[in-house]
Amino acid sequence: MACCKVPANDKEGMASSLMGLWEKKRLIKCYGYVNGCNVEDPSTWDKFDIMNGSMGDCFKKFSLEDNTIDFLGHAVALHYSDTYLYEPAVDTIKKMQLYLNSKDRYGESPFLYPIYGIGGLPESFSRLCAIHGGTYMLNTQVDEILFDENGKVTGIKSGD
């Protein structure tokens, strides 16, 4: 099995009182498995077929509690329903790897969020638009989307 290393920035999760000591150990083993899993290399799957085995069966391998499974499936892998538990594990493992890699790279949160709040998103988009020669217009109706001969969007038509 892969190294059971806690992701560098998951100390908060390990300090949580929401899980007992044994559950934390099982979670660390699950994290280690996910980190060490290479989709192209079946030798890293530890005798579990991630292409055909369900994610529910993968979680059973680590004897994780229901609350931990809910956290991993919905908060880490961002699934909106429990259907992922019956689907091949490979997709959820990829999503969990993305989360863990992002958490390692970006620090306290794996999610990119504007420093000054969500209002920074239109400002950032407007700046990028201007850099690339575009114009960003709020509350403007789009009458037509213009394409070039290759099907690439070249602009929009609004009014005259």
**Domain-wise residue ranges, the chain:** 11-106, 120-157
pLDDT for 140-158, tens place per residue?
889 999 999 999 998 888 8
**11-106: what fold?**
Guanine Nucleotide Dissociation Inhibitor; domain 1 (1.10.405)
pLDDT for 1-22, tens place per residue?
444 444 444 555 667 777 788 9
pTM exceeds cut of 0.75? no
Rounded CA separation 130/113 (Å): 21
Helix (H, G, I), strand (E, B) or coil at 137: coil
Highest mean pLDDT among 18-27, 78-87, 102-111, 133-142: 78-87
Other Cβ atoms closer than 10 A to 133: 6
pLDDT for 117-146, tens place per residue?
788 888 888 888 889 888 777 788 899 999
Helix (H, G, I), strand (E, B) or coil at 97: helix
Helix (H, G, I), strand (E, B) or coil at 123: helix
Q: Which pLDDT score, from 0 to 100, does residue 43 have?
A: 86
User: In sequence order, what are the beta bridge partners of 153?
Assistant: 147
